[in-house]
Structure 1
Amino acid sequence: MGRYVLRRLLQFVPVFLGTTFLIYALVWAVPGDPFAGKCGDRQCPPDFIEAMTARYGLDQPLIFQYFGYLGKLFTGDFGTTFNGNSIGELIGNAYPITVRLALIALVIQILIGVTAGVLTGLRTNKSFLDNLVLVSTLVLISIPVFVTGSILQIVLGNELGIIDPTVSSEARFDELIVPGFVIGSISMAYITRLTRTSIAENRRADFVRTAIAKGQPARRVVGVHLLRNSAIPVITFLGTDLGSLMGGAIVTEGVFNINGIGGLIFRSIAEKEGFMVTTIVVLLVLVYLIMSLIVDLLYAVLDPRIRYD
């Protein structure tokens, strides 16, 4: 196991360098003046643009800019925006909010999606519950996230007064439950269908028949044997979905006025803050890499036949 983890960590090095360089190159390849609007209503003088270009190293070749940025990043220096604000502080204020939102969405996906998938997977005889879940998941997949968020905001917030239409600056856990459901609604529908299919397929497997023949209780057959062996595709989806939830929070955070990473990315793109956009995406790359390793290690826990030598 130790050798496998070490080998995977070494594989992360070229993947990290390749993806981050591609991100860096694409961000700075976007046309437009990064210093536009930095001098108010008037156009910035050439001397100011020249000084700012030299200060941020934008006059150097792209490869030198990238390794210079990477060197500062490894020392914990995230740099500053063109307005002089610390990128580390801005991300430090916004990132915990988006992490809480993504974790709440992940918990909702597991609780609702896996439960609905197991119940319908055990009863795939076109029962009322099976049809209800299939239709509900199809509706969630078909409706865009901003529509789902707007409907819940109007109905639960403005009409019924159950929730606040907008999230406060503290972004407490109770305030993030509805936005977490919104941002995770589509993935929850996929998890339900994925769990349903996997349960229905493994229900007829030999190991399930053997467990039943040994007289084991139905709860143990489902919870230990059936669910454990059906969880691998679901775990794979959940592991990669955490990064997607954090990166795709722009729309949901905009609907509920959440001051998280999504809004920070949107403002940074609009203001052409290339260093901010690059740093946020680099952090998301790290999330994807770490989650992929955790998912691979969970395979061996769920399926004893998998061994990492």
Structure 2
Amino acid sequence: MGRYVLRRLLQLIPVFIGTTFIIYALIWALPGDPFAGRCGERPCPPAYIAEMTEQYNLDDPVIVQYFKYLWQLLQGNFGETYSGQMVSDLMASAYPVTIRLAVVALIIEAVIGIGAGILTGLRNKGFADNLVLMSTLFLISLPVFVTGFVLQVWLGTEWGIIRPSVSSQATWGELIVPGFVLGSLSMAYVARLTRTSLMENKRADYVRTAVAKGLEPRRVVGVHLLRNSMIPVITFLGTDLGALMGGAIVTEGIFNIRGIGGLVYDAIITKEGTTVTGIVTLLVLVYLLMNLLVDVLYAVLDPRIRYD
């Protein structure tokens, strides 16, 4: 296992370099003047443009710019905005909120989605099965911003159960409803994926053997059936954490959450390429590390999988 983890960590290096280079090239190769509107209604002085061009290495080819940026990343420096703010400071204040929101959404979609999938997978073709299938289809067809707006109006404005806007502290309790909104679509997919996987593995030979040996139903389901059926679900949940963090722009906008989504949106509007590049680079790291964690969990869930 140790050799496998080390080999996978080494494989992450070229993947990280390739993905971050593509991101950097796409963002910084966009046409247009990056300093347009920086000096108000008047055009920026030539001295200012020359200084900023030198500071951000805009005269160099994209490949040279990228490796200079990569060297800064290795030193923990994500760059500066055009106004002189450190991108790492901006992310340090915004990322904890988004991480809490993504974790809440992941827990909600895992608990409710897996629970509903187990219920319908073991007792299919009944009222509960039809109810879950219709509910998940409803969530899949409903856009996230509609779900968020409806819950905000009903639970916040009409019934007064929650605050319509999350406070600046963004406590765990305040993030339950936004987390449900953010993870609602993935929750529907998790429920359907769990149901399908359980129904397929119920007819597997190892399940028939366990039943024929006279094992208790709880042991058959919990030890044999459920562990093997969770492999595709764990794969989906592991890769979904990065998607939840990157796709929180709409949810954070609805509930006025000061997280990474609003930071990305503002950076796109103001054409702050350094901020966008730094945030997406960090998301790439989250994706890569979560994929590694999912691969390691395979061997824990399925004893037939061994990494030599």
With structure 1 as the length reference, what TM-score do the two structures score? 0.97
Quick one: which amino acid aligns to residue 171 of structure 1? A
Per-residue deviation, residues 83-110 of structure 1 (Å, max 9, x unmatched)? 1111111000000100000100110011
Quick one: which amino acid aligns to residue 197 of structure 1? T
Which position in structure 2 is the counterpart of 1:39?
Answer: 39
Per-residue deviation, residues 55-101 of structure 1 (Å, max 9, x unmatched)? 21111111111111111111011221001111111000000100000
Quick one: which amino acid aligns to residue 100 of structure 2? R
Distance 2:93 2:297 in 1: 31
Moved over 4 A (4+): none
Which position in structure 2 is the counterpart of 1:214?
Answer: 213
Which position in structure 2 is the counterpart of 1:188?
Answer: 187
Which position in structure 2 is the counterpart of 1:10?
Answer: 10
Matches within 5 A, 1:1-309: 1-125=1-125, 127-309=126-308
Quick one: which amino acid aligns to residue 169 of structure 2? E
Quick one: which amino acid aligns to residue 11 of structure 1? Q
Matched positions, count: 308
Per-residue deviation, residues 132-152 of structure 1 (Å, max 9, x unmatched)? 100110111111111110010
Per-residue deviation, residues 272-295 of structure 1 (Å, max 9, x unmatched)? 111111111110110111011110
Per-residue deviation, residues 153-211 of structure 1 (Å, max 9, x unmatched)? 00100011001011001100000001111111101100000000001111122222222
Distance 2:215 2:78 in 1: 57
Quick one: which amino acid aligns to residue 3 of structure 1? R
Contact 1:34-1:271 at 8 Å conserved across structures: no
Q: Please state how far the C-alpha of 1:215 moved relative to its aligned partner.
A: 2.6
Q: Please state how far the C-alpha of 1:216 moved relative to its aligned partner.
A: 2.2
Distance 2:241 2:207 in 1: 31
Provide structure 2 residue ranges, at least 5 long, that are not aligned to the other structure: none
Identical pairs, percent: 69
Quick one: which amino acid aligns to residue 243 of structure 1? G
Across the aligned residues of Structure 1 and Structure 2, the Cα RMSD in angstroms comes to 1.0
Q: Please state how far the C-alpha of 1:51 moved relative to its aligned partner.
A: 1.6
